[in-house]
Chain A
Amino acid sequence: AQSVTQLGSHVSVSEGALVLLRCNYSSSVPPYLFWYVQYPNQGLQLLLKYTTGATLVKGINGFEAEFKKSETSFHLTKPSAHMSDAAEYFCAVSTQGAQKLVFGQGTRLTINP
């Protein structure tokens, strides 16, 4: 069975600072990995995904993530935080593409002016 652990339920950074949201996964087969963002009272928006190939994945809004198999990690980063980045971020894993996603508990990102 797959599982996802997001380290830190709440991360706070200053505007313009580096954003780092941590995600570790467990999977017995090569995983599909996703980061989604959720704004208050809204659904989830796909930020980026890793399926195969290049391990550094670039997504929308300046975010990127690197798949590190040896560390079973898929951390999300953004060089410079913007106020509009404040939201809840979910890491998810699947072993069958778009089938049955397993989500982490989420990380709430707060941006300080």
Chain B
Amino acid sequence: GAVVSQHPSWVICKSGTSVKIECRSLDFQATTMFWYRQFPKQSLMLMATSNEGSKATYEQGVEKDKFLINHASLTLSTLTVTSAHPEDSSFYICSASGWTDTQYFGPGTRLTVL
């Protein structure tokens, strides 16, 4: 149980384009979803927290207009990287929590912006 999927697992795009990453909780209802960014050989950095039906709460220093987060249902959250640039290249990981005290993580999406 407690499976979280992400799609796509990897994406390559041109600079200036937008990319959407989906995060789904497959076997539980996720009241809260989180988006993290991880640079090579570093820890996870929380970007934002989203509750179903509410606006996301962004961490300090994260551009809200660049990283658009939507949590439209209890099983789906999306992260859209708008006007992506090479510095946005990273490993993006989502996690989800339901009615328990644990976050369950997706497999991650590697974004490469050329």
Q: What's the least CB distance linking B47 to chain A, in Å? A: 12
Chain B residues within 8 Å of A36, by CB = 105
Interface residues of B, dominant DSSP:
strand
Interface string of B64-104 (1 = CB under 8 A from A): 00000000000000000000000000010101010011111
Does A43 lie within 8 Å of B42, measured CB to CB? no
A-B contact count (CB 8 A): 54
Report if A41-B101 is in contact (Cβ < 8 Å); known contacts: A100-B46, A103-B43, A105-B43. Answer: no
A51 to B103: give the CA distance in the assembly, Å. Answer: 13
Given contacts A43-B6, A44-B93, A100-B49, contact A105 B102 (CB under 8 A): no
Give the distance to chain A from B40, nearest Cβ to Cβ, in Å: 11
- Range of interface residues on A (Cβ < 8 Å): 20 to 34
Interface string of A70-99 (1 = CB under 8 A from B): 000000000000000000001000000111
CB distance from A109 to the nearest CB of B (A): 14
Say yes or no: B93 contacts A32, CB within 8 Å. Answer: no
Residues of chain B within 8 A of A44, CB atoms compared:
44, 93, 95, 105
Q: Determine which of B46, B93, B101 lies in contact with A43 in the assembled complex, contact meaning CB atoms within 8 Å.
A: B93
CA distance A100 to B57 in the complex (A): 11
B32-A98 in contact (CB<8A): yes
With A99-B49, A105-B42: A46-B104 Cβ-Cβ less than 8 Å = yes
Q: Mark A28-67, 1 if CB is under 8 A from B, else 0.
A: 0000101010000111111001010000000000000000
Q: List 8 A-B contacts (CB under 8 A).
A: A41-B91, A43-B106, A44-B95, A46-B104, A97-B102, A98-B102, A104-B43, A105-B42
10 more A-B residue pairs beyond the given contacts A43-B95, A97-B100, with a C-beta to C-beta distance below 8 A: A41-B108, A51-B101, A90-B44, A98-B101, A99-B32, A99-B49, A99-B97, A100-B49, A101-B46, A104-B43
* 5 tightest Cβ-Cβ pairs between the two chains A and B: A97-B101, A98-B97, A44-B105, A43-B105, A43-B107
Which A residues contact B (CB, under 8 angstroms)? Answer: 32, 34, 36, 41-46, 49, 51, 90, 97-101, 103-106
